[in-house]
Structure 1
């Protein structure tokens, strides 16, 4: 019989999953309807749709992986099924992070205002730059498939060879675990650095724009300032959720090397859901088209409810 803590976590899982699927599905629906009406696809809308699709995939794969993780020993399932689910889970995570990085880079080049020749040169080739980010993600995922099995076997071998539970032996193994996962998932660190750099440069662009306005005696916000602020909010929310997301990954990895860590592992999974479930709501709040569409939906729901009552 499940405990109160297990039931609470299950309710949180269901809420986060429902919100994530609903928020990302709403983004896909709004952009799909807009494309059918205008017969034109904007690059920002395309990246947002790919990001929403990647998050839906990541949510489903996370649910599948968690189910196999906790029920694998209770039901008879082939080992290959768990391995395939793990690979697909990591692949959806790479796809999700690469799409988010593309969105941050796109925001930067579309909104920032620099006269440097390198910036202008890269801005004209934004499509190739975004394609390069996706190609890097694909090659990194292939590297993961090659190195994962080899590094896992080495870590398991080191753990088995431990004859004493001394602190030095434990710290040595944990250090190997940390280094191994950094090597495997190096591209995710690169994506975080790229997004952080875009965010800092966008702040620099906003500061330069504000200073130019003050020099001309303008102290109120204009449309360019508002766009800068909205993009910075979206990037900041991603960076914060990114850190929380991978902190939970680190906690989850460490739980494999300690007994009786089920509660901590469940808590880590709850935090993992925050990024793909919470960030779409922030994007809807700060994206004008999505916000307007959400307001229209809420108004129609209110009209239907009032009509029924």
Structure 2
């Protein structure tokens, strides 16, 4: 049975999961309804929907791992069942990061103002190839996840439950280097899409600076639609970068718990922090997207109207 601290942490995890599911499901539902209604889907909606679905799966896997760790330790220490969880965590983690990177690149290509021929060609081409890019992200994530699903050490799961009660076994010690190197490499792979998003962010800042400077030279106002679009895109990208940094740190805490004395609590704490990124970023995207923001306001108005009618 879980103690009071574990029960409290599990309750917090369930709350974060519920908030994340609500935000991401709303994004997917609104875009799918718009798709059915208009018989087509815009590139930005396709990216947002793909990102929302990947994050719903990621949230579910993180919460499942947290509950199994506390409530079903026997299942947690058996490698066969947990390899499935590890595979899907790795898969959904990479999918979420790559789809968010696609969103950053899309914002950059659509909003930034550069006149280089290669940039203009990419700007013109992006809508035609976005589906293939997303499918390529899926294929790449599966390719990355399969080797890790086969190589994840069963002793890690066993040591997470037993290490703080007994000394590390010889087998745990002998596989420590192999496990740590595998996890470090796994984390380093996510730094490439993070770097791409960071470059997109910096180029957006440069584009905004040039645009504002041009507006000032022409003695016109700075808050034109292009400036607003730049600012909105920058907010979305920088929020992803900051939340990804927190998520990456939490992921490191959870995976490096192999070397910590209170490893079980370290894993749960890391997963609590990891839940923040896919949960909160969905609401930032809703507020930054005009269609989603208007749909959320209509939904809140309807809920308020229903509650008012029930009161009276």
TM class by shorter chain equals 0.7 to 0.9
Aligned positions of 1:120-269 closer than 5 A? 120-126=120-126, 127-128=128-129, 131-132=132-133, 134-135=135-136, 138-139=139-140, 141-146=142-147, 149-150=150-151, 152=153, 160=170, 179-269=181-271
Show the counterpart of 1:166: none
1:121-160 Cα offsets, whole Å, 9 max, x none, are: 222232437734652553354244225645759999xx94
Show the counterpart of 2:160: none
In structure 2, how many angstroms separate the alpha carbons of the residues matched to 1:178 and 1:137?
26
- Gaps in structure 1 of 5+ consecutive residues: 164-168
TM-score (ref. length: structure 2): 0.86
Aligned positions of 1:1-309 closer than 5 A? 1-74=1-74, 79-126=79-126, 127-128=128-129, 131-132=132-133, 134-135=135-136, 138-139=139-140, 141-146=142-147, 149-150=150-151, 152=153, 160=170, 179-309=181-311
- Gaps in structure 2 of 5+ consecutive residues: 158-168
1:105-127 Cα offsets, whole Å, 9 max, x none, are: 11110111100112112222324
In structure 1, how many angstroms separate the alpha carbons of the residues matched to 2:149 and 2:74?
26
In structure 2, how many angstroms separate the alpha carbons of the residues matched to 1:129 and 1:216?
36
Contact persistence 1:12–1:270 (CA under 8 A): yes
Contact persistence 2:20–2:59 (CA under 8 A): yes
- C-alpha root-mean-square deviation of aligned residues, in Å? 2.8
1:174-232 Cα offsets, whole Å, 9 max, x none, are: 7x765433433443111000100111101111111101100100133001100110110
Contact persistence 1:65–1:89 (CA under 8 A): no
Contact persistence 1:255–1:261 (CA under 8 A): yes
Between 205-214 and 218-227, the greater mean CA deviation after superposition: 218-227
Kindly tell me: are residues 55 and 75 of structure 1, through their superposed partners in 2, closer, same or farther at Cα, counting changes over 3 Å?
closer
Contact persistence 1:245–1:272 (CA under 8 A): yes
Contact persistence 2:91–2:142 (CA under 8 A): yes
CA drift at 1:264: 2.1
In structure 2, how many angstroms separate the alpha carbons of the residues matched to 1:278 and 1:239?
13
Contact persistence 1:252–1:268 (CA under 8 A): yes
1:266-291 Cα offsets, whole Å, 9 max, x none, are: 11110010011110011111211111
In structure 2, how many angstroms separate the alpha carbons of the residues matched to 1:289 and 1:85?
35
TM-score (ref. length: structure 1): 0.87
How many residue pairs end up in the alignment?
299
Contact persistence 1:19–1:277 (CA under 8 A): yes
In structure 2, how many angstroms separate the alpha carbons of the residues matched to 1:137 and 1:38?
26
Contact persistence 2:201–2:234 (CA under 8 A): yes
Between 80-89 and 198-207, the greater mean CA deviation after superposition: 80-89
Kindly tell me: are residues 71 and 134 of structure 1, through their superposed partners in 2, closer, same or farther at Cα, counting changes over 3 Å?
same
Kindly tell me: are residues 14 and 146 of structure 1, through their superposed partners in 2, closer, same or farther at Cα, counting changes over 3 Å?
closer
